[in-house]
Amino acid sequence: MTARCRIAASSAVLLLCTAGAGPVLAQPPAPFLMGGVTTAPGTTASANLKVPGGAGDEGTIIPFTVVNGSKPGPVLALIAGTHGVEYPPVLALQRLRTAIDPRTLTGTVILVHVANMPSFLARTIYYGPKDGQNLNRVFPGKRDGTLSERIAHVITTEVIDRATHVIDIHCGDGNEWLRPYSYWVVTSAPAVVAASKDLALAFGLDHIVIDTERPSDPAASVYLANTAMTRGKPALTAESGGWSRTDEESIARVERGVAGVLKHLGMRAEGQPPVAHPVWLGRNEVLRSGFTGLLYPMVEPGQTVAQGTIVARVTDFHGTVLEDIRAPFAGEILYVVATPPIAKGEPVGFVAERAAAVPSIGGGTGRPGSLRPGVGR
Ligand SMILES: [Zn+2]
């Protein structure tokens, strides 16, 4: 054993050592204790993690399910609902709860059904209703912080720290019209970066943004998936669906992606093969509005645009044009905001250019990106 071995915080039996690109596992199948509930090997159990109250709020809950396989193996955490109006991932996890059979599963799957319950119930995009914070900007969180920070702290300590692999599943938020894609972060330890690339391929989305600018400090990891990676866990942020919709294809795409990852990690025999020839996206930019007013999208997600193409138009509240927001370089539109309200500084769309080269593992990139993810990511 080395310093990289971890004993799962609430399980006296499960011993995981992260070495190289994947976990080395020992021990017979063990009960999995989470949120005060013990899930025996070969069974599934659901309960709620408690987020304690703080100044001005009574806390909240994080509903979860543990599918504990009959053989020991990886601990895969699937997290939905980090943002409040992102429904296909939430609905996919409802299905996966019963679709993943613990009797034939190797390892353990943790399903976080709704990470951000305050935002989900209040139907708020981007920001939590109590504190105005973006949950996916406050990781690893604080035990005694704002409600969003306390949620992040519980997810970090109870879920991410228990997992060997983490997938944070998003879609376009309630105002965002999006084509499916994922983010591959290349700023962590080489073995983690390499294993995260494999996760992205296994999840199967055919557009992958090469993310070169995420923090590497575990104390200031900011993003959920980045929190896992800075702690040595391969991770992925996936995007499927959006615009408040609950369409079947966006839900099924998540189900297929999870099945592909389960197969890739050796947790289950069936599952789709990895995507063979993804579109790697390098230079990318979130375009933002310079004004507050009404937004008119002028492109669709998946559309190829030339440099200078008008992505969106902003008018004042009487209809006078204030700004045409243009693509700063040729590329593909991954999402565009498709509802009228817009505030100065908010994202209006995301454009990305095909990567000239896929980074060599370890951080060297073919072309540096300029990623500034939108507030909803
Ligand atoms: Zn999101």
Which residue type sits at 366? G
**What is the band of 23 on the pLDDT scale with cuts at 50, 70, 90?**
low
Which whole number is the average pLDDT over 16-43?
Answer: 74
Q: What's the CA dihedral at 39, 42, 44, 47 to 10 degrees?
A: 10
Instruction: Spell out which residues have Cβ within 5 A of ligand 1, the ion.
Output: 83, 170
Give the span between the Cα atoms of 336 and 179, in whole angstroms. 9
| CA of 42 relative to ligand 1 center, distance in Å | 32
What pLDDT, in 10s, does the model give residues 328-370? 999 999 999 999 999 999 999 999 999 988 877 644 333 333 3
pTM: 0.90
Single-letter amino acid code for the residue at 48: N
Exposed/middle/buried for residue 308 (C-beta within 10 Å: 0-12, 13-18, 19+): exposed
Burial 246-268 (b: 16+ CB within 10 A, else e): ebeebbebbbbbbbbbbbbbebb
pLDDT value for 27: 66
Q: How far is CA 160 from CA 5, 228, 261, in A?
A: 15, 6, 17
Query: Ligand 1 centroid vs 281 CA: distance in angstroms?
Result: 19
Q: How far, in Å, CA of 263 to CA of 282, rounded? A: 28
CA of 104 to the centre of ligand 1 (A): 32
How far does the centroid of ligand 1 lie from the alpha carbon of residue 126, in Å?
A: 7
Whole-number Å distance, alpha carbon 114 to ligand 1 midpoint, is 12
Distance 92 CA to ligand 1 centre (A): 15
Ligand 1 centroid–CA 154 distance in Å is 18
- Say if residue 218's pLDDT is above 70: yes
- Classify burial at 184, counting beta carbons within 10 Å of its beta carbon; exposed 0-12, middle 13-18, buried 19 or more: buried
Per the prediction, the chain carries an average pLDDT of 91
